[in-house]
Amino acid sequence: MLVPRAALIAYSTEEKTHAGDRRYFLELREIDSQGNMTEGKPVTVEFMNELVRNYSETHSSTPHGRLPSNLLYADTRKGSERYVWYNPPGKRMMYFVGGLGIENAEYHLPGIIYEARGTRLNVYAYKEDQPCMETALYAAPLFNVTGSSVCLGSARIEKPRELTYANLLEYWERKFWLTEFSHLGGHGNPTKSNLVLVTKAARDKPFDLKELKPLKNLKLKDILE
C-alpha cells in the first residue's frame, strides 16, 4: 500500500530568459502522519537522484546489462525501439490447438531470427548454424505467421521488471512460443509441402531444410539496415 510522504511544488518565473527558457525552483513539503504538508524546503540533489532512480527502475522500457551473444541489433531510442536476434537450429516446445491434430511436444526447427519492433514481432528462418550478414532469410515454417509478421495470440506474458537485454529477448520468445499455434497465415503454407505434415515429420528427426521458402530474396543484412 502506498502512502503519501512528500509533495513537490514547482515554481517558475513568468518571464523567459534571453535563451527563451524560464527559471525553475523545486520545493519539497513533507507530509506528516495526519496527512498535512509541513513547511517547505529546497529539494536536494540526493532526493531527486533517489526519486529518479526508483521511478526509472519501475517504469523504464530501456534494457540494460550484458549483451547476449545472439543479439544482432539493438535500437533503444524512444519511439524507435527495435531488436534483432536469433536462435540456432534445435528443438523447441510447441503448443497447438486441438483442431490441427498436432501433439504438444518438442519439434526440430531450423534457425530462427526474431525482429521485435515496438509491439510487433517478425520471425524468419535460416539454414546455417549461425547467421552472417549474407545469410538468406526464409519464411518461418510456423503457424500464426503471415510472411514474417506474427499474430501474437493467447499467451499473457508480463514484461520483466528487471529489463536486461537477456530478459527482454526471453520475454518476446515466451510471448511467441507459449501462444498456441492455431492457423495458417494469410499467404497459406509457408513450406513447400503441407505445414501440418512438415511439422509432424520434424518431431523425431531434423527439420527438412528443403521445405523452406525464400522471402523476396531477403538477406540478414537487409533487416539490419
pLDDT tens string 164-195? 999 999 999 999 999 999 999 888 899 999 99
Name residue 92's beta-bridge partners. Answer: 107
Cα angle value 200/140/76 (rounded, 5°): 135
What count of other Cβ atoms lies within 10 Å of the Cβ of residue 222?
12
Q: How far apart are CA 132 and CA 155, in angstroms?
A: 31
The residue assigned the cell 531527486 is 48
The identity of residue 84, as a single letter, is: V
Query: Which one-letter DSSP state was computed for residue 94?
Result: E
Highest mean pLDDT among 35-49, 60-74, 189-203: 189-203
Name residue 164's beta-bridge partners. Answer: 64
**Residue 110: is it exposed, middle or buried by C-beta count within 10 angstroms (0-12/13-18/19+)?**
buried
Core vs surface per residue 112-142: b (16+ CB within 10 A) or e: bbbbbeeeebbbbbbbbeebeeebbbbbbbb
pLDDT higher than 80, residue 92: yes
**Pairing of β 82-87 and β 111-117:** antiparallel
The residue assigned the cell 490441427 is 100
Reduce the DSSP state of residue 195 to 3 states and report it: helix
Q: How far apart are CA 174 and CA 13, in angstroms?
A: 51
Range with the poorest average pLDDT among 12-21, 97-106, 188-197: 12-21
Q: Does residue 50 or residue 35 have the better pLDDT?
A: 35
CB 56 within 8 A of CB 70: no
Instruction: Please tell me the pTM assigned to this model.
Output: 0.73
Q: How far apart are CA 180 and CA 30, in angstroms?
A: 51
pLDDT higher than 80, residue 88: yes
pLDDT higher than 90, residue 138: yes
pLDDT higher than 60, residue 58: no
